[in-house]
Amino acid sequence: MPALFAVRRSVTSIFRQAGAKVSYDEPYPGWKPNPESAILARTVEVYERLFDTKPDVKAIHAGLECGLLLEKVPGMDAVSIGPQIENAHSPDERVQISSTAKFYRHVAALLEDLA
């Protein structure tokens, strides 16, 4: 978050010099993935059963919804999954279309497994 606050300071300085009033909402809360998570284990099991291979499990800068939910429901177990996205949050953002069908199958099977 230090980079976010540095950008905020720069933007605030420029806008105030132009006579603007500047205010910000609080940034989205982060969350720390739990490698021992029960939902992660089930997510991996379902993926392996469907695709006969291990998923690429890693922590990345994504899943802000998990941070928002976990802030409201402390102790909740969470996992963030999705299709292959490149250049997120930029004008060059795109999704690998072929990964969306696989993602859909995985989510549907996971929900069925959890039901």
Taking the CA of residue 66 as centre, how many other CA atoms within 13 Å lie in the half-sphere pointing to its CB? 19
pLDDT in tens, 61-109: 776 788 888 889 988 999 989 999 999 888 999 999 999 999 999 999 9
**Count of residues for the chain?**
115
- Per-domain residue ranges of the chain: 1-27, 31-114
Q: For the whole model, what pTM was predicted?
A: 0.73
Beta bridge partners of 94: 86
What CA–CA distance (Å, rounded) separates 63 from 81?
8
CATH code for 31-114? 1.10.150
Place of tokens 């941070």: 67
Which DSSP string corresponds to 13-59? HHHHHTT-----PPPPP-----TT-HHHHHHHHHHHHHHSS------
Residue type (1 letter), 3: A
pLDDT in tens, 24-56: 887 777 788 888 999 999 999 999 999 999 999
